[in-house]
Amino acid sequence: MVERFKPIRFSRAGIRGLKASATIAINDRVREMWDAGRNVYHLAFGESRFPIHPKIAAALGANAQRRSYTSALGIAELRRAIAEHYGRRFDLDVAPERVVVGPGSKSLIFSALMALGEEIIIPQPSWVSYGPQVHILGKPVTFVPTRPETNYELELDVLEERIHDSRQNWGNPEVFIVNSPKNPTGTVMRPEKVEALAGFARDHELMVLSDEIYALTLFSTIPHVSISQFYPEGTVVFGGLSKSLPLGGWRVGTAIMPREKGGKALGQAMSNIASNIWTCTPAPVQYAALIAYSGDPEIEEYIEICRQMHAIRTKFLYRTMNRLGVPCVEPAGAFYIYPSFERWKEQLAARGVHNDNDLAFHLLDRYEIATLPGSDFHAAQDFCLRISSSYIDVATDEHADRLLAAFMDDPNPERFIRDHHPRMQQVAERFAQFVAELKHEAGEPDTVPNLAVV
């Protein structure tokens, strides 16, 4: 129950029915535990915490005097640099006029959702904020479930069925969100799937919002292929500096408008929204971002180093789940894994754990492990958790500096984990203990290996 005080009355638009996300609830609980001096292994945090590259940090300092408002779309130099970056890194032919810069891709996704279409199609599972953003806008949603058996890729027949059902029910799905590499599963869409999806979107005249914020964090043989390669007239591509570089708090997001006339109109619409809400992305940050998008070999190398460190840490957590026999689809990018504990749902029920939300709190309270429940990610299956590798053993700036120095000194993955990730190894042991207990309770043979050194 929300206590009410006049004259504060809450509006129907947006806030009514908007639930506090478990992300926040878990983070609050973690903070309480830390304040009480308790240990917590924080696997719920999804931000890159490595050090800022000195050239980028210096650029911010050098531009501190840039204090005027800029164009809502971003400064011309940065839009040009971003267009060139897309050509260089993703082989996309992007004119600078098609680039929109905003305070994080989150704000740009929101303004695109505001500007476009009526009903929004969202895959399950998918990033926490898509659903709430659509809710705030008061638009209907069509959810499309995906399955671990098919790598959490969208299945066109399921998509077709859901769109059909919605239309039968007076719905009007027009905008479709895709995200690869994907948060929360770490999975990457295969190029042939991307092409098939583009054909589907074109045939059904759907607008695609392609969230490619993790495009430079791949670590499998599957290449990143943007759906805009196949459907440039109907795709908006989102990116930014929050994931490939450790700059989440700087709030630099990008959106590439579709080709042709429609793209120009959408850019204008997003500019109108931006200029009436946030005005512009902070000017010093935009000027500093120029170096991040410049193609400077040192920065490119640093993006690569960050990618490798995320990959080693994420793969370690994946292998841990694998060895413990916890079903988990192999990640191919980003810094997440998405294991399922459904196999032990009876044993969990006997502990009073009836869904993924209970499971996340159970792990936190009993094992000091913070994770996020799949239901926060619009999950189609219960008992999944999103586990992030991005925070552990880099909790402080000193840790982050030391970890980077250690990797530069010796990039061997086994030694990097064994010698520089004490907490990562401890949390693997905690999971081993948890799973051993569940197996024991289930009467399964206990075959949990020693995980201390991998």
Residues that bind ligand PLP (CB under 6 A): 46, 104-106, 127, 179, 183, 211, 213, 240, 242, 248, 253
Give the tokens for residue 74. Answer: 């971003």
Q: Given the complex with ligand PLP, which of 124 and 322 has the nearer CB atom?
A: 124
Q: Given the complex with ligand PLP, which of 244 and 320 has the nearer CB atom?
A: 244
Phi first, then psi: what are they for 259, rounded to 5°?
-70, 170
For the beta sheet containing 336-337, the strands, ordered from the edge strand earlier in sequence to the opposite edge, are 336-337, 385-388, 372-373
Q: How many CB atoms lie within 10 A of CB 405?
A: 11
C-beta separation of 325 from 349 below 8 A? no
C-beta separation of 154 from 177 below 8 A? no
For the bound state, the minimum distance from the C-beta of residue 454 to ligand PLP, rounded and expressed in Å, comes to 27
Classify residue 331 by its DSSP letter: P
Closest to 50 in 3D by CA, of 364, 336, 390, 381: 390
Q: Given the complex with ligand PLP, which of 334 and 380 has the nearer CB atom?
A: 334
Q: Given the complex with ligand PLP, which of 244 and 425 has the nearer CB atom?
A: 244
For the bound state, the minimum distance from the C-beta of residue 225 to ligand PLP, rounded and expressed in Å, comes to 17
Q: Given the complex with ligand PLP, which of 29 and 106 has the nearer CB atom?
A: 106
For the bound state, the minimum distance from the C-beta of residue 285 to ligand PLP, rounded and expressed in Å, comes to 12
C-beta separation of 108 from 238 below 8 A? yes
For the bound state, the minimum distance from the C-beta of residue 248 to ligand PLP, rounded and expressed in Å, comes to 5
Q: Given the complex with ligand PLP, which of 179 and 226 has the nearer CB atom?
A: 179
For the bound state, the minimum distance from the C-beta of residue 230 to ligand PLP, rounded and expressed in Å, comes to 21
For the bound state, the minimum distance from the C-beta of residue 386 to ligand PLP, rounded and expressed in Å, comes to 10
Q: Which residue is nearest to ligand PLP (CB)?
A: 104
Q: Given the complex with ligand PLP, which of 106 and 224 has the nearer CB atom?
A: 106
For the bound state, the minimum distance from the C-beta of residue 105 to ligand PLP, rounded and expressed in Å, comes to 3
Cα(246)–Cα(52) distance, rounded to whole angstroms? 6
Q: Given the complex with ligand PLP, which of 105 and 166 has the nearer CB atom?
A: 105
For the bound state, the minimum distance from the C-beta of residue 179 to ligand PLP, rounded and expressed in Å, comes to 5
Give the tokens for residue 448. Answer: 């949990």
The interaxial angle of helices 297-324 and 54-62, nearest 10 deg, is 130
Provide DSSP, 292-320: HTTT-HHHHHHHHHHHHHHHHHHHHHHHH
3-state secondary structure of 28: helix
Cα(363)–Cα(42) distance, rounded to whole angstroms? 11
